[in-house]
Structure 1
């Protein structure tokens, strides 16, 4: 048991897990993100950790498959001695009764942790995610100045290939996935003093609420939420939390406000890394615009056949062609973007995230192994990133610089893999402005 741990979290995909890693690291909480739940021996090689995460894959699997994975993970995380254990979900609440069920995760978590209620915080204002009277609103693109839409009218999320958003009220959304009652601390109640907020929580619990959803519209509203939920945490009986990286933001802001954390020194400038290798399994229109920007600004483009990969093509000889083309471009000093560009969202729904992600990870591993010039790799796509990271041989990542909110630049630990020690960046489909890949190439926002 590590009583110095403030928080342990399990992310439902890789890109969302790096999002939580960023906000903890920004707050001054030394954090490592692991691909699998670490052994005590592995943890011992990451000294002075105050938080740790596990990058799971439960967003892309059905509830029956989620249950044994989460039961095992939550049981192990409960033993670590952290004040809180957080099930980290996407800030657009990607889930359904048949895929990535957040309700199933809540049910399993309640059975493992036996707490009298489960806090639910999805709003993350700095990422353009807002919850008002229980309804979720999302900006078009994290780290951009896109328009804000109610979730069920969001141009991208309402057409998500696997979990399209057709309900913005998170209470109704969850009611399809769990029988547990959801109470709401709404935006008007949130502005009251801490005693009144606590009284509202008590009234919701007396009314039978098992889950309490917190509204939030502004960043400064997260601090009182952090204070409230931290009061329920204990290393011998951790509080089980569900939500976006708004959880890390809220707790981090509160811990900072009471002087519990060391001030963060300025992050070092990561500098330019050329040539840059980008791999994308995302079918988001935001990522599509970023790919178009990259190819218009000198990136070489390699389009891979998702249908052939779905049929097991990463084992076939033509996969070598993708590697060969990438190596040729890189030897010419050109940055390369490899993506499933001809695949629509409707088509991608039919393809396996595991196969696509694994193929991209194997390509990255081979190309980096053949090209010592590559010092930085970017992977785009929330559903495929978890599999790509595993295929790349990554054990853990730690943040080295914040470039775009929600997608930190990290250093990879990957024993026995050519990826070991290089810069890696994993981004969800909704993250970033059009010049995102240019920002990662230059190592700064421009």
Structure 2
């Protein structure tokens, strides 16, 4: 085996989802580095034993034209890496719409880079995250209960991409008007050779996409085998959630495909932090509960005003100085833009940003870049070395403002939201510990768990 023989390259449509995919690979021992732009071979050689590489993007918050501009050069670079599988990573709740974060547009843009590939495999379910697909219908767990996606308390009311259709084939057809097949749960039953024959027969019909049902770990591993075998036959480009990574690692382990021998960057130990900064741009009920719980556990909460978010010309000095003063006194701080989806600050913020002449499709980027500039300022003034960013749509813009070029998992905290080690050219930022979590991830005490995370 070559020193850095890649198995997989992926692009994540938001940052929190990208760390989710990285965690799925790293926890199985496959060393994975997540970059903020497509890496060169020289960059990859810095990381001994790397088996998988990812690029964290922001396409989920963009219009189709903006998506194409971002995705195409990155996917072109990834397609030229010597990786058998190239994955466009979506959210496990398939957040998307024709006008923003279009997965159909991502498929149209990317598949032309894989000449000769007629069919794209699509796998969205991930049992480890409480995500399941049955006869094309998608389900997601929340607070211990499983909801069909169009009845999910959060996803059916998502402020940007509300999910009104649970059948992923119909939802995707609104973005990609082409044939979408299904490898249903019954067709995934039986001996692997028998199931493989069924899958090959479906591929012969050359649908644009074949969606996999996902219910349990056994059939997920079998789906991983089918995706890997199709890649060996030239169908390298796949789409879906971190379920793709969970499926492939399950198959790789059964097939004896070697891992890196270690799943995290070499470090003597990871110590708990006496103080952290949590920054939330999420309006989900899950994030709301996490913010409220953190404040109950001693975090000092600071609400970010809509006026500050809208004003891109100056720093909110009073708020920043308050946060720095508290951190320097040993307190942990949570900055937040909203408490749940009903918070009146959401509509006020959107109105004020609109009044500044910023288009609705640019709101997420505007908020994210504001939060990123403020986060970096606070960290540099306080000497802080551990931070949490909550909110999938804004986290990518936050991290880009922080001057980071790569990340690697240090410790799992909650499925889909690990603690990472940051790589940056700026010595002040290099080596900081960063946790990125989407709005639906983590338990109520997630922020405290990040603060207290340790490894001897």
Aligned residues: 436
Q: C-alpha displacement at 1:329, in angstroms?
A: 0.6
**In structure 1, how many angstroms separate the alpha carbons of the residues matched to 2:203 and 2:230?**
14
Candidates 384, 399, 418, aligned match of 1:389: 399
Q: What residue in structure 2 maps to residue 119 of structure 1?
A: 121
In the TM superposition, residue 264 of structure 1 has moved relative to its aligned partner by 5.9
Q: Secondary structure at the match of 1:139?
A: strand
Of stretches 72-81 and 347-356 in structure 1, the one that deviates more from structure 2 is: 347-356
CA gap of 1:173–1:439, structure 2 versus 1, over 3 A, is: same
Offset of 1:75 from its aligned partner?
1.0
Distance 1:264 1:47, change over 3 A: closer
Task: Report what 2:290 is aligned to.
Answer: 290
Query: Matches of 1:390 and 1:363 in 2, distance apart?
Result: 12
Q: Is the 8 A contact 1:396 1:414 kept in 2?
A: yes
Alpha-carbon offset, residue 181 of structure 1: 1.0
Q: Give 1:208 shift.
A: 4.1
Counterpart of 2:358 in structure 1 is none
Is contact 2:31–2:259 with CA below 8 Å preserved after alignment? no
2:326 matched to 1:332? no
Q: Cα offset for 1:40?
A: 3.0
Say whether 1:247 aligns with 2:257.
Answer: no
* Structure 2 equivalent of residue 88 of structure 1: 89
Correspondence for 2:166: 168
1:313-344: per-residue Cα shift (whole Å, max 9, x none)? xx314x22222011111122110001113655
Distance 1:264 1:4, change over 3 A: closer
Taking structure 2 as the reference length, the TM-score comes to 0.91
Q: Does residue 408 in structure 1 map to residue 418 in structure 2?
A: yes
For 2:432, the equivalent position in structure 1 comes to: 422
| Worse overlay, 63-72 or 339-348 | 339-348
Query: Is the 1:287–1:430 Cα contact (8 Å) retained in structure 2?
Result: yes
Is residue 2:234 matched to residue 1:224?
Answer: no
Shift of 1:63: 0.6
CA distance in 2, matches of 1:386, 1:102: 18
CA distance in 1, matches of 2:427, 2:165: 43
1:93-108 alignment runs, 5 A limit: 93-108=94-109
What's the counterpart of residue 365 of structure 2? 354
Q: Distance in 2 between matches of 1:182 and 1:444?
A: 45
1:256 equivalent to 2:262? Answer no
Q: Please give the per-residue CA displacement for 1:249-280, whole angstroms capped at 9, x wherever unaligned.
A: 01111111122124866978733112011001
**Cα separation, partners in 2 of 1:42 and 1:320, compared to 1, 3 Å:** farther
Q: CA–CA distance in 2 between the matches of 1:348 and 1:6? A: 43
Superposition deviation, residue 55 in structure 1: 0.3
Give the aligned partner of residue 357 of structure 2.
none
Q: 1:315-330 residue pairs with structure 2 within 5 A? A: 315-317=313-315, 319-330=316-327
Computed over aligned residues only, the root mean square deviation of the Cα atoms, in angstroms, reads 2.2
Is 1:432 the counterpart of 2:442? The answer is yes
Residue aligned with 1:82, SS: coil
Residues 278-317 of structure 1 correspond to what in structure 2 (within 5 A)?
Answer: 278-312=278-312, 315-317=313-315
2:356 is matched with none
In structure 2, the gaps of 5 or more residues are 354-362
Give distance in 1, aligned partners of 2:426 and 2:20.
26
In the TM superposition, what whole-angstrom CA distance separates every residue of 1:404-446 from its partner, at most 9, and x where no partner exists?
110111000111163221110000000011111111111169x
